[in-house]
Amino acid sequence: LSREGRIMKQLTDHAGELTDKWEQETLERQKDAEELKARLEHHESHRAKADEDFDSLISSELMALKESLQAESSERKEEDDEIVAALNRYTENLQQSLSMLD
């Protein structure tokens, strides 16, 4: 009877140790999972902020390029108008000179 009692005590002790270790491992895994989740959320929010900043930068650069292109287009149009006016004056002067020769 005492031998069976010792064996039962050992089994009970062993089962208790296993249960304690199981609970400890479960708690550690939950803690690790929570830490990983918190890190992931932090990285996601950081990434979202970086994406937002990048989008803002690109938008402002695109706007600046559009404005620059519009200014260049207006300047070229003015220069083209000046060239056309100069060619018209030249043609008019040439016609006047030719008409004097007749």
pLDDT in tens, 42-62: 999 999 999 999 999 999 999
pLDDT at 1: 66
Question: Which among 1, 102, 81 is positioned nearest to 89, based on CA atoms?
Answer: 81
What's CA 63's distance to the chain center, in Å?
18
pLDDT at 101: 79
> What 3-state class would DSSP assign to 102?
coil
Residue 36 and residue 47: Cα distance in Å, rounded? 16
Q: What is the mean pLDDT of each run of 10 residues along the chain (102 residues)?
A: 87 92 96 97 95 96 97 96 97 92 74
